[in-house]
Amino acid sequence: MTVTIENEFDPKETGVILPFDYQETAQDVLAAFLDAVDCPYEAGVNILLTGNDEIREINRDQRGIDSVTDVLSFPLHSYDLPAGFDELDADSFDDFDPESGELMLGDIVICIPRVREQAEEFGHSSKREFAFLIAHSLLHLVGYDHMEPEDESVMTAMQSSILEHLGITRD
């Protein structure tokens, strides 16, 4: 299991810092997620930590939405069914890292100032918000969505289950 984090966010510029080990938290969430979706493979994900201006630019360029957002998810595979791992080709270089053999889930972009703002808004820790955004994005990376009420309830339950398993709850 590999979590690659690129941190282009400079806390010195804004005073926003993550008061927890974000690498360890991301790895813990990925492990709980893989169990929750019964993934039969070791997997990897890339996470970019960034600021408001940068995520706004990515959101505008990739989605045509010119606004700041908390998180963006870019899956490497388009699943016909959520967590439909049986449709993957284990011999495909498109789905699996040829060096590690891990399933490549995709990329997540997290806006660190929004982590702090939303943690304050919802009355919980920044660690809980960070973990939630990763769990939420990982579910998107394997085909879950929340556009329909039924799908939203499934996704919400899975996010809660992942975080509860880790003991990362609302304070």
Q: What is the per-residue pLDDT across 48-64, written as a single tens digit (0 to 9) for each?
A: 999 999 999 999 999 99
Give every residue of the chain whose pLDDT is below 50, as ranges.
none
Q: Which residues contact residue 79 at a Cβ distance below 8 angstroms, ignoring those fewer than 6 apart? A: 87, 142, 143
User: What pLDDT does 15 receive?
Assistant: 65
User: What pLDDT does 32 receive?
Assistant: 98
Cα-based distances in Å from 45 to 5, 96, 158: 9, 11, 18
User: What pLDDT does 19 receive?
Assistant: 87
User: What pLDDT does 18 receive?
Assistant: 82
User: What pLDDT does 13 receive?
Assistant: 64
Cα-based distances in Å from 8 to 38, 52, 66, 90, 127: 32, 12, 20, 33, 19
User: What pLDDT does 161 receive?
Assistant: 96
Angle between helices 126-141 and 112-122 in degrees, nearest 10 = 110
